[in-house]
Amino acid sequence: MHVSRLAVPVTTAAKARLFSSVASSKFKVSQSVKAALKSGQPVVALESTIISHGMPYPQNVETAMAVEDIIVKNGAVPATIAILQGKVHIGLEKDELEQLGNFGKKARKTSRRDLPFVLANSLTGATTVAGTMVLAHAAGISVFVTGGIGGAHRGAEKTMDISADLMELGKTPVAVVCAGAKSILDIPKTLEVLETQGVPVTTIGESAAFPAFYTPDSGVMSPCQVPDALGAAKMIHANQEMQLQNGMVFAVPIPTEHAADSRNIAQAIGSALKEASNNGIHGKEATPFLLKRITEITKGDSLKANIALVKNNAAIGAQIAVELAKLKK
């Protein structure tokens, strides 16, 4: 490929074209998100499976609203993404967030492969990291904040249970800001798959350790480290300038004052995994089951950590989006 072609920046106009080419009748973009996208203001996508399946009601709704506020306070526009009765919403109103949170697990967990079924049958779907990346990209949003990504499950060498999140990260240019991956997963295998998929994995901050969601250090190093949001934004900008079509993972360790007790968490995860196996829980039910049991076994301690880390990710993610918007001017 000729170098001058590589250097062409992805313009807002190009994004708008992309969006209109994906059946815009299926999309409802909120006023605030539409205005921000049009003028090149920073926008941060948020997923909805974390609301429907990742946390119990009403903490899920409270957290979703608090996260949106944090993004606004840090200078960006939040765009929570979900499918409501067959319509893709980019940006939810407060009453829609409340409805989805209350609906909970009755919403269909929607990864990439579930999109056609949910849309064709006018269902309500809560999008996973993979599902949200697809829709965020279609809308022209390149920064996305969540709690934790899916990954290779323990025993994946036999079950082949590897989250579609990892493959999506390989092919969709959206940067995902998270607190690493839970140790319900096999973290070394998860990082191996991301390497195979060509996904840069970068820890933000003073430590180079890849964080383990509830705790700041998984015992495995991240391949890359940047000191702050600007460092992350520069990497996203470079990825875009090169027109690399892969996604990126930015891992933000949970602040130590909010971290869960690592022994308690390890025990809870061990019990939850045993229960899942004894009850034959697998496929898309595995992750929600494990999240719910860990919250119950730790009597809400893990939920507290989960809420704190999502809020922290929201602040950093918004700062990344702000820095990225400046770099693109």
- Annotated active-site residue 47? The verdict is yes
Strand 143-145 relative to strand 125-127, pairing? unpaired
Q: What does the binding site for ligand PSU look like in residue numbers (CB under 6 A)? A: 47, 49-50, 54, 111, 128-129, 147-148, 150, 163-165, 182, 213, 284, 287, 291
Integer angstrom CA distances of residue 46 from 34, 55, 157, 297: 15, 15, 31, 27
For residue 285, the 8-state DSSP code is G
CB of residue 325 vs ligand PSU: minimum separation in angstroms?
A: 26
Q: Out of 15, 47, 109, 168, pick the active-site residue.
A: 47
Q: Is 102 helix (H, G, I), strand (E, B) or coil?
A: helix
Say which entry of ligand PSU, Mn ion, none residue 148 contacts (CB below 5 to 8 A, set by partner kind).
Answer: ligand PSU
How far is 253 from 136, CA to CA, in rounded Å? Answer: 24
Helix and strand totals (H; E) in the chain: 15, 11
Altogether, the residues listed in the chain come to a count of 329
CB of residue 182 vs Mn ion: minimum separation in angstroms?
A: 13
Q: Is 87 helix (H, G, I), strand (E, B) or coil?
A: strand
CB of residue 276 vs Mn ion: minimum separation in angstroms?
A: 12
Q: Out of 182, 189, 284, 328, pick the active-site residue.
A: 182
Nearer Cβ to ligand PSU (85/159)? 159
CB of residue 280 vs Mn ion: minimum separation in angstroms?
A: 14
Tell which residue, 138, 140, 205, has the closest CA to residue 177: 205
Nearer Cβ to ligand PSU (37/310)? 310
Nearer Cβ to ligand PSU (5/158)? 158
Strand 77-84 relative to strand 125-127, pairing? antiparallel
Q: Closest residue to ligand PSU, Cβ-based? A: 54
- Annotated active-site residue 15? The verdict is no
CB of residue 146 vs ligand PSU: minimum separation in angstroms?
A: 7
Nearer Cβ to ligand PSU (210/233)? 210
Q: How many CB atoms lie within 10 A of CB 170?
A: 16
Integer angstrom CA distances of residue 328 from 199, 226, 249: 22, 19, 20
Nearer Cβ to ligand PSU (70/129)? 129
Residues recognised as catalytic? 47, 182
